[in-house]
Amino acid sequence: MRSGLTPKLRCITDYLILSLVSIFLLQTILKVFGNDRLLVESIGISYDGLKSGFIWTFFTYCLLHEGIFHLLFNLLGIHFISRNVEYIISEKKYIQLLLFSTFVGSLFWVTFNRDFGFLLGASAFVMSCLTYFCLQKPNEPITFLLFFILPVKLKPKYLLIGVLGLELYGFIFSELQNVSNIAHSAHLGGMVVGLFYSNPLSDLLTFPRFSFKFRGSSKTRNNHFIKEPKYTINNGIEQEVEIQIDKILDKINENGFGSLNDNEKLLLEKAQSLLNKRK
């Protein structure tokens, strides 16, 4: 799925995988000695933990997993799905996708599971990447292993519809009935974030960046110049749009304008309107 792209020696996905494996090894060692409960209570998210002020667990819960199969499932998703998403979006947007999907997934889960244990795992992020990829390349045939055994070839849009149907069914008839340990609500939260970031308008939503500068002042104190701090805010919109437009222009050069999907065409129109306003 990465035609024409040069892989990085080390990317965010690699570091994420290494982090998850390392923390799982630590978790396993602590479990052998019966001391893993404190780690789970400190990093895993629960309604009781949030009431105690553990607000950081909205993000840290994704670092822990319930067992080896839970970890392997998420690692496969991160390697085969999230990695491809990282290759087609900017590093900044990829980090935002990771953080927002993790937060929204935990928020959805806490809303419907106030009296039901802990939430662990990076599944919300995997689901956000799956949603993003399927919406960006809905008609590009892909091959995946059904039950990790049978190779199946289909268009991403049909895969997304199937996954969404399974998650909704599991949420309504399993999670809400407290008959399953699978956090379908967290998965759905991640999918909502993937849907949002697949919209070209999300490229115009960036966090302000603060840079502090010092410049000399004419004021003196005890015969010494005083440097007064001055800060500026740069919201990074131009840089983010430029990255996306460069990728779209490369695609036009290789395959023609007809190869663009509706989202990419809309982004070009938005970028053109921004340029016209500044002229």
Q: How far apart are CA 236 and CA 204, in angstroms?
A: 9
Give the start-to-end residue ranges of the domains of the chain. 12-198, 205-279
Question: Does CATH place domain 12-198 in 1.20.1540.10?
Answer: yes
Q: How far apart are CA 209 and CA 234, in angstroms?
A: 5
pLDDT along the chain (279 residues), means of 10: 46 94 95 89 92 95 94 94 91 94 96 87 96 91 67 85 96 91 95 91 52 45 45 48 72 71 72 59
The predicted pLDDT at position 82 comes to 94
In sequence order, what are the residues at sequence separation of 6 or more whose Cβ sits closer than 8 angstroms to the Cβ of residue 241?
203, 204, 267, 270, 271, 274
Asked if residue 95 lies in contact with residue 12, where contact means CB atoms within 8 angstroms, the answer is: yes
Q: How far apart are CA 12 and CA 166, in angstroms?
A: 29
The predicted pLDDT at position 58 comes to 96
The predicted pLDDT at position 247 comes to 75
One-character DSSP codes across 22-43: HHHHHHHHHHHTT-HHHHHHHH
Q: Where are the beta strands (DSSP E) in 80-208?
A: 142-146, 150-154
The predicted pLDDT at position 274 comes to 61
